[in-house]
Homo-oligomer: A and B are copies of this chain.
Amino acid sequence: MTTPPRRLHPRKTPVQARAVETRDRILDAAARVFGRHGYAAGTTNRIAEAAGLSVGSLYQYFPNKDAILVELVRRHVREGTAAVEAALAAAIRDDPGDVEALLAAVVDAAIATHAGDPALHQVLFEESPRPPELLAELHELEAAAVDRATALLATDPRVQVADPALAARLVVTTVESLVHRTIATRAADPVDVPTFRRELLTLLTRYLGLA
């Protein structure tokens, strides 16, 4: 067993139910505080207060401020991935060959994930410092998503693209980017979400030669 690279990992692997709960309370508080104040102004004292703890306690669960952020990102991504996977599984169960339905499921899951707390999303994925370690993780996750998409596109013979892996990559990136941009970024003149959803699906299906 090797020592974890320290520094960005939770200080204690919570085994007791109480500890797990406290950790989550801290993360929830951090989500609120970061969402409201941004990363820089989201001070550890504020987070502790929001969590109903003292700073000292907070630092018993996380070695430093960045570690909280990293864990928040991880949790967020884990939940997002799970949501997409679940939606995908359901769609495949309904009709395995219907790529349009799969796309719709993925887009809906992505929208749902972003809609939860747009401000937090913004902080987590744009404003905050992302240590290389975390970036690597995120890139790996994205690569996995692209692989998954490549495989799924291959199941529908109607899909007409020169390079399926490249197309998959563009699809994943487009969904992520546009949904993020549209939902997370507070626009002055926000689009109607259902309209945006429909148009994004149109874009994707036309790109893939499905329409």
Instruction: Please indicate the chain B residues that have their CB under 8 angstroms from the CB of A188 in the complex.
Output: 135-136, 139-140, 143
A207 vs chain B, min Cβ distance (A): 5
Contacts of A163 in B (CB 8 A): 199
Q: Is there a chain B Cβ closer than 8 Å to A150's Cβ? A: no
Residues of B within 8 A of A169 (CB): 191
Closest to A129 in B: B38
How many chain-A residues does the 8 Å CB contact rule pick out?
A: 38
Interface string of A193-206 (1 = CB under 8 A from B): 00100011011001
B126 near A199: Cβ-Cβ < 8 Å? no
Copies of this protein chain in the complex: 4
Contact with B along A160-178 (1 / 0, CB 8 A): 0011001101100110111
Which residues of B sit under 8 angstroms from A126, Cβ to Cβ? 126-127
Contact A166 B189 (CB under 8 A): no
Question: Which residues from 144 to 187 on chain A have a C-beta closer than 8 Å to any C-beta of chain B?
Answer: 162-163, 166-167, 169-170, 173-174, 176-178, 180-182, 186-187
Is the CB–CB distance between A139 and B206 below 8 Å? no
